[in-house]
Amino acid sequence: MKRKLLSMVLASAMTATMLAGCGSAAETTAPAATESADATQAEAPAATEAEAPATADVASEGEHELSVYAWDKNFNIPALEAAEKAYQTVDPDFKLNIVEQSASSDVENAITLAASSGDYSQLPDIVLFQDHYIQNYVLNYPDAWVDLEDAGIDWSDFGAEKLSYSTVNGKHYGAPVDNGTAIFAYRTDILEECGYTLDDVTGITWDRWLEIGRDVKAKTGKYLVSMDHNGDDLPYMMMQAEGKSQWKDGAPNFVNNEELKAILNVIITGAKDGVIYLCNDWSEYTDTSIIGDQVAGVFNGNWIIPTMKQVAENSGKWAITSAPTLTGKEGYAANGGSSLYVTSNCSKPELAKAFLAYTFGGGEGAMSTYDDSLRNGGVIGTCISASKSDVYQEGVDFFNGQSVYADIVAMGANVPVVEQNDFHYTARTQIGAAITNVINGSDLDTELQNAEDQVKFEMGL
């Protein structure tokens, strides 16, 4: 399947939800992305004795005020400021008190502390929470949350994969904020230099991709993709693109997972052949491989785009498409992302629900929310119908005029829902170690058995 069919898939995903109505966004000049929002977290982190994060004085709020905990002044907070501005068009007295946290773990710790003490008055009205963690916190602390079932949000206007995180026991709890859809971006000038086009890397098998990668490496010295191997998200994204999981019935499924073995063999072969650059840490991944211009491709959550844009001289030389797969069908994946949740300490839950529905939930204020979120923070929204916006359809100079933001939203509607687990990052660590050991001469089956045993041990299975 080539680029033409990708365009058809994107078009069908957009038109299928045009009647739902939602918001939009525009090209941004946000600073380089920091490590993905959830890339360094541990499973269900316990509260620590680190420096106390900023807190909200909920008791002193007026009837038109809400408080929210969020992190990242260059990404999430501009999005919240955009939503505040949008909601003020229907409630001029509305004020969103944004309490900046140093990291997502501050929010997780706040929930843990409140639940442990049984005193939810410590919490703000709303919290921004990582997608990969929220189910654990809703299940463990059900009294800490207010569901959004009656918020008036059209849930059909969001990708099923995005909603799968914030839907617990059949109830919707979160209003999605940022779109974690993964992009596979290529330097089209380098492909052309080697005799290829974007069509040649769209809808192909990983085996064919490796062949092209070896050719690119031989002719240009550049890797076809890189990844921070200290927090290696490649196996997860590649598996999701297959519609497969590393989990089965709540337990790690490594040893008897033929798709996982095949995916890991692609990574191992690519690393040995100089096609995949497995970086030692995040800085080497962003600064050396991407900003240092050592790669002809980037595969990660779309939040990586601001990092790519740091190399201004490569503007107009990039384009995005879907990922290869084992079978050659076009692959779609996601990595990272968060949503907004109303806490049980919120004394104005109806206001909170109305605010979320009107803005991030796809209401009448979604368009201005999404526009300003992207302009000021690089946040791509999650409503599928947002891609009908003029600014989403706008061509992006850095990507040679491609309307990448519309494409990303539409691609997100095609990301498969796969089984998730609260020990996602434990699995990532163990699989990453297995890859390293196999590259150094160990046996894949042995390493997968060791990895599965270690994850089960940490899970208490």
Domain coordinates in residue numbering, the chain:
21-180+337-392, 182-333+423-459
pLDDT given for residue 379 in this prediction:
87
Provide the pLDDT for residue 227. 97
Average pLDDT, the chain: 88
145 three-state secondary structure: strand
Confidence of residue 387 (pLDDT cuts 50, 70, 90): low
Q: Tens of pLDDT along 111-163?
A: 999 999 999 998 999 999 988 889 889 999 999 999 999 999 999 999 899 99
Residue-wise pLDDT tens digits, 305-359: 989 999 999 999 999 999 999 999 999 999 988 999 999 999 999 999 999 999 9
* pTM higher than 0.85: no
- Inform me whether the pLDDT recorded for 23 exceeds 70: no
Same fold, 21-180+337-392 and 182-333+423-459: yes
Give percent of the chain with pLDDT exceeding 70: 88
Q: Does the structure show a pLDDT above 50 at 50?
A: no
Instruction: Tell me the C-alpha distance between 219 and 231, whole Å.
Output: 29
Spatial separation of the C-alpha atoms in residues 408 and 401, rounded to whole Å: 14
Closest residue by Cα to residue 415 from 208, 132, 183, 250: 183
What does the alpha-carbon distance between residue 299 and residue 357 come to, in Å, rounded to a whole number?
32
pLDDT at position 375 is 84
Question: Per residue in 179-204, pLDDT tens?
Answer: 889 999 999 999 999 999 999 999 99
182-333+423-459 belongs to CATH 3.30.450.260: no
pLDDT over 90, % of the chain: 72
d(CA 235, CA 435): 10
Q: What is the pLDDT of residue 346?
A: 96
- Distance between CA 347 and CA 113 in Å, rounded? 20
Long-range contacts of 84-92 (CB under 8 A, 24+ apart): 85/368, 85/372, 86/358, 86/359, 86/365, 86/366, 86/368, 86/369, 86/372, 87/355, 87/358, 87/359, 87/365, 89/365, 89/368, 90/358, 90/364, 90/365, 91/64
Instruction: Select from 56, 102, 343, 295 the least CA-distant residue to 186.
Output: 295
CA distance 166 to 340: 9
Amino acid making up residue 192: E
Name the CATH architecture for the domain at 21-180+337-392: 3-Layer(aba) Sandwich (3.40)
**Predicted local confidence at residue 28, as pLDDT:** 36
Tell me: the pLDDT tens digits for 65-90?
999 999 988 889 999 999 999 999 99
Q: In the structure, what pLDDT confidence band is assigned to residue 303 with cuts at 50, 70 and 90?
A: confident
